[in-house]
Amino acid sequence: MEAVIRIRRFNPEKDKKPYWATYTLKDCEPTDRVLDLLHRIKWEIDGTLALRRSCAQGICGSDAMRINGRNRLACKVLLKEFGEKPKIQVEPILGLPVIKDLVVDMEPFFAHYRAVKPYLVNETPPPVGPDGRPRERLQSVEARERFDDTTKCILCAACTTSCPSFWANGAYVGPAAIVQAHRFIFDDRDQLLKERLDLLADPDGVWRCRTVYNCTPACPRGIEVTRAISEVKKAIQTGKRDF
């Protein structure tokens, strides 16, 4: 089948402002992914097209883009979703500066990520086995399950860049950073609870979330982002992690 794809393009070395370019591709299969089409354009028609991608299987988080108005991973969107005569519109994710074509500057996103101290802190010396060698800290199956959902995050930025609060104010840490914080707040091995909650109680922390719910459907990993945010809000109010 034939697919028509419109791409928001911009090359800072040539273009004053972004523009739409349209490509028509013949012999497409319903199981082709949007990433396959972008590759065909780049490899067969115009090598200057810039995009990020690596795994092509929804696990590395490189290729979040706005596809027909929704944030998706290009490698996870099959053509057949768009019917017999697919018409697809692709543009960079919003709220981050465009570097070239579909590539945006991810630094502000990762700065927010780093700001929430996304690492386990536990200063108690770990247990030692009968042989004198270190052993694992014990954790119950239930305690492990408590933060399972938020460990799935691949830092693709689809949630954060779908959030109107983030578009309006780039200082807002955004859903992805809160998801990361949640992963440690609800891990009973972590000892930085108070500091984590204080960090997110900041004016640019969780309270900028207005529960618009854009983030949850945007997440390619099926993480219940809004729920994670509300659990963090609750933890801030009560001062503890509830189970």
Binding site for ligand FES (CB under 6 A): 53-56, 58-63, 73, 75
Q: How far is the CB of 94 from ligand SF4 (least distance, A)?
A: 14
Burial of 76 (0-12, 13-18, 19+ CB in 10 A): middle
Crossing angle of helices 225-238/174-185, nearest 10°? 60
Comparing CB distances to ligand SF4, the nearer of 5 and 235 is: 235
Contact between 144 and another protein (CB under 8 A)? yes
From the list ligand FES, another protein, ligand SF4, none, partner contacted by residue 225 (C-beta under 5 to 8 A by kind): ligand SF4
**Residue from the set 99, 167, 204, 230 that interacts with another protein by CB under 8 A:** 99
Contact between 43 and another protein (CB under 8 A)? yes
Comparing CB distances to ligand FES, the nearer of 42 and 117 is: 42
Q: How far is the CB of 150 from ligand SF4 (least distance, A)?
A: 8
Place of tokens 């609750």: 234
Contact between 186 and another protein (CB under 8 A)? no
H helices of 2-123, in order, are 34-40, 107-115
Q: How far is the CB of 23 from ligand FES (least distance, A)?
A: 20
Rounded-to-integer distance, Cα 223 and Cα 217, Å: 9
Q: How far is the CB of 233 from another protein (least distance, A)?
A: 23
Rounded-to-integer distance, Cα 61 and Cα 72, Å: 10
**Residue from the set 28, 68, 110, 202 that interacts with another protein by CB under 8 A:** 110
Q: Are 25 and 35 in contact (CB under 8 A)?
A: no
Place of tokens 């944030």: 71
Comparing CB distances to ligand SF4, the nearer of 158 and 193 is: 158
Q: Are 185 and 240 in contact (CB under 8 A)?
A: no
Q: How far is the CB of 61 from ligand FES (least distance, A)?
A: 5
Q: CB under 8 A: which stretch of 141-149, 167-175, 196-204, 210-218 binds another protein?
A: 141-149
Query: CA-based angle 76:77:82, to the nearest 5?
Result: 165
Q: How far is the CB of 236 from ligand SF4 (least distance, A)?
A: 19
Burial of 189 (0-12, 13-18, 19+ CB in 10 A): middle
